Amino acid sequence: MKHTKTVTLAAAALLAIGFTGCASTAENMRAQGYGPDYSQGYGDGCSSGRKAGGSMFDQFKKDVRRYDSNHKYREGWNDGYDSCKSEEKEMLHSLESSQREAQRDQAIRDSGKYRY
């Protein structure tokens, strides 16, 4: 029971971090000197990458005209997409592993072979 609660809290924390990722990343990038085109492209690509990585909370975002005509937006979009897709997949894999571990631990406790 305690382990299940810990897994639930960890999952909630990871989701909260995921919600703040793209918007604040684009803002931080601007503050660090990245241009608005790259920063906006990165933010849009990040949202799209998270969606492609399995997020239920993000949406695909791409300004196609800007992507086709502005190399900085396109570069930012591609970088954001690749980075955030990988992060999302890694986060989901970690959550699934934790859930499997919690289920295995519960099965051991339920079997009576586990001694407190």
pLDDT in tens, 52-89: 998 888 999 999 999 999 999 999 999 999 999 998 88
Q: Name residue 102's amino acid.
A: A
How crowded is residue 56: how many other Cβ atoms within 10 Å of its Cβ?
Answer: 7
- Which residue is it, tokens 């990988």? 86
10-17, long-range: CB < 8 A, 24+ apart:
10/95, 10/98, 11/95, 11/98, 14/91, 14/94, 14/95, 15/57
Q: What is the pTM of this model?
A: 0.64
What percent helix, strand, coil does the chain show, rounded to 5? 80, 0, 20
